Structure 1
């Protein structure tokens, strides 16, 4: 998961860079990533994950769509509905398995001062979808309650040691979500992402 010895994770998979700023800098947007994602073994014990500057470098080159640490930990693509636009937004994230098919994702945003946009989207529209190893499924997101945060962080750091350093450096409470697979969304049965987005 996600946060040298700093770690980056479930941003878990997190923190897509501002594409507008990226393009304004003269960089070309990276080709749209495929929705398919593959799952990889957890980071071996004793091996340090890439330092944040390295992650930021790859994120900048790819417009936020390539995460170096994604090759080291389980990965997914999260499909959310934009809080303001109502459009479908895709973001690659790292995640921590939580049993019974559930996944935990953390909005570390490279220790940035602001919460990543995808976390705001989930707060506004908790019904979402994920693609894992080429398989797409509907999920319902819930915020990890305060009394579970320590336990969840321990689970995350068992997979990605030191990841919580991102929270300390950001001086904010990182949003943690549990993604629960569902057969259909109660309010939006049949919801499908727009393939043109």
Structure 2
């Protein structure tokens, strides 16, 4: 058995790991078991979406061996997201009014884009959907920092390296259906839980759209 520190990210075999006592890397299991787990994951993905609807059979690249995270990782990601939401909302609110920040000069737009935003700023807020309904996809790195309070003397933290304002539709499907596939592999039997509730994810996504139109 390889030595792992429980507070660090690592990939595990769900069927061969036990929460709190044994964490088994997929490479430590035999090939037939890994093939069986992959088929089980594939069956769940195709139950959520027919195989013909997955672009170029892209679902076949999904791994049945998840990355194990701790409650500390989850809390850190939530804190980063909350800070990011507050920061972006503040920038949008002050884009035209904060002369000291001078956002238009620091982040110049095309003339047509700027004219459109200036016009939108004059429209009554009840007419337009709230900008907070936007979507962004931060890319982040995981770095190790010294922490004498942990058994290993280090801890992992997330550092945002890039933020994109787009997230392809397939990304939402992979997240929701991929998490459902993890649920179907019954991680609870060995003491694990999935990081995201797939139903809540889709329900929250659909709140961004007007279903009456």
Query: Is the structural similarity TM-score above 0.5?
Result: no
TM-score by length of 1: 0.24
Structure (1 or 2) with the larger CA radius of gyration: 2
Structure number having the greater strand percentage: 1
TM-score by length of 2: 0.23
Structure number having the greater helix percentage: 2
